[in-house]
Amino acid sequence: MTLNYQPITCHFCFETFEVDLGIEAQFCGHNVEIFDCEICCNPNKVDTEIDEGEIISLVVSDGNE
Ligand SMILES: [Zn+2]
């Protein structure tokens, strides 16, 4: 099972949309990706900490930095 389509809350407009993290089932570690909001189009930096394919921490911040 992969962690596709994780709902996140936009850092800018606070709307919720789904992003495709595309993380492998056995992945361990840190993943950072930029996703443009589907509603306001601003870049959200999605910072995740993964342990064997499970999200243990997900932080959304300003992707412009
Ligand atoms: Zn937005």
Q: Is residue 17 part of a domain?
A: yes
Residue 5 has what pLDDT? 87
Distance from the alpha carbon of residue 27 to the mean position of ligand 1, in angstroms: 28
Q: Is residue 1 part of a domain?
A: no
Q: How many residues does the chain have?
A: 65
Model pLDDT for residues 5-64, shown as the tens digit of each residue:
899 999 999 999 999 998 888 999 999 999 999 999 999 999 999 999 889 999 999 999
pTM (2 decimals)? 0.88
Residue 59's nearest CA partner among 16, 4, 11 is 11
Distance from the alpha carbon of residue 40 to the mean position of ligand 1, in angstroms: 4
| 48/34 Cα distance (integer angstroms) | 11
Residue 65 has what pLDDT? 80
**Domains in the chain, number:** 1
* Domain limits for position 22: 6-62
Q: Is residue 53 part of a domain?
A: yes
The pLDDT-based confidence of 2 (bands split at 50, 70, 90) is low
Distance from the alpha carbon of residue 41 to the mean position of ligand 1, in angstroms: 6
pLDDT at 1 over 60: no
Distance from the alpha carbon of residue 49 to the mean position of ligand 1, in angstroms: 22
Distance from the alpha carbon of residue 26 to the mean position of ligand 1, in angstroms: 31
